[in-house]
């Protein structure tokens, strides 16, 4: 599928192979391999298709934890095998294995919770800056990304949304956020390193690969509307670094938290 002729709906439109078995495809990406966010999004959709909650309040994903085991290749379909680990009254748990050409390329756990009334608290809120002052950087024809200037707390931040209008189904928007959440962590880690400050040096003198990824969903959202993604790298050692991110709605609601560990090696 050409990068110019695909949509988020194409990516999330998994084909059912048999019970708890699904197949997905994706576009070509500029760097030549599969995008980790695609694997995250498709894993979440595959898991959601197996959650059959009765009652007025449907189960919604509240966390996704994934390990990237091998690099995925463009041009080959990815099969998702879902294992139903638990179906409780309040929670449902699924394990998802992403397999390409008979090799396991990623494994994820996804937990679903039936919403219940409680206090709603958050530590901080971030104002959304005026879009007219931001610089647009696009690597995908379906993702609109506006970079924020460097901040005083060394955060790497951007406004992001999908260009297409999506249906109201909550799982599409949670999966869309999973897709977007793999975008900024590696850049945040690269900016944490001192090399990018050296004049005349290659601005990206690294080989990088995502090792694992965790998302906690705190509130409903729409990924066809701008959200503020704010990431900071907090540690680097042994060629591995950690990036932490928070996602805020236009109203300042903290809708999700993200943590990713990244392999980052200097090019030789």
Is residue 159 predicted with pLDDT exceeding 70?
A: yes
**Higher local confidence (pLDDT), 104 or 205:** 104
- Contact of 41 with 12, CB cutoff 8 Å: yes
Place of tokens 């950690």: 242
Which domains are assigned to the chain? 3-115+134-266 (2.40.160.210)
Cα dihedral across residues 120, 113, 255, 209: positive or negative: positive
What would the two tokens of residue 76 be? 């080959």
Burial category of 41 from C-beta neighbours within 10 Å (exposed 0-12, middle 13-18, buried 19 and up)? buried
Give the pLDDT confidence of 60-71 residue by residue, as tens digits.
999 999 999 999
Residues in the chain: 268
Is residue 42 predicted with pLDDT exceeding 70?
A: yes
Q: Alpha-carbon dihedral of residues 167, 169, 172, 173, nearest 10 degrees? A: 90
The whole-model pTM stands at: 0.92
Looking at every residue in the chain, the average pLDDT score rounds to 90
């Amino acid at each position: 599928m050409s990068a110019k002729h695909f949509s988020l709906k194409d990516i999330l439109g998994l084909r059912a192979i048999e019970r708890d078995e699904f197949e997905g495809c994706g576009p070509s990406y500029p760097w030549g391999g599969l995008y980790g966010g695609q694997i995250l999004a498709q894993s979440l959709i595959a898991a959601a298709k197996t959650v059959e909650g009765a009652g007025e309040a449907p189960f919604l994903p509240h966390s996704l934890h994934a390990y990237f085991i091998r690099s995925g290749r463009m041009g080959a379909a990815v099969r998702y095998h879902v294992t139903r680990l638990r179906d409780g009254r309040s929670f449902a748990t699924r394990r998802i294995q992403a397999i390409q050409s008979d090799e396991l390329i990623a494994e994820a756990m996804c937990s679903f919770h039936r919403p219940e009334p409680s206090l709603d608290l958050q530590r901080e809120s971030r104002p959304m800056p005026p879009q007219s002052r931001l610089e647009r950087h696009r690597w995908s024809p379906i993702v609109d990304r506006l970079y924020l200037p460097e901040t005083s707390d060394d955060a790497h931040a951007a406004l992001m949304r999908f260009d297409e209008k999506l249906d109201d189904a909550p799982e599409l928007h949670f999966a869309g956020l999973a897709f977007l959440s793999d975008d900024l962590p590696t850049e945040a880690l690269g900016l944490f390193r001192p090399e990018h400050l050296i004049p005349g040096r290659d601005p990206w003198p690294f080989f990088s690969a995502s090792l694992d990824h965790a998302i906690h969903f705190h509130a409903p959202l729409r990924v066809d509307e701008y959200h503020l993604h704010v990431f900071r790298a907090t540690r680097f050692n042994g060629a591995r670094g950690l990036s932490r991110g928070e996602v805020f709605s236009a109203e300042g609601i903290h809708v999700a938290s993200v943590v990713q560990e990244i392999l980052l090696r200097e090019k030789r």
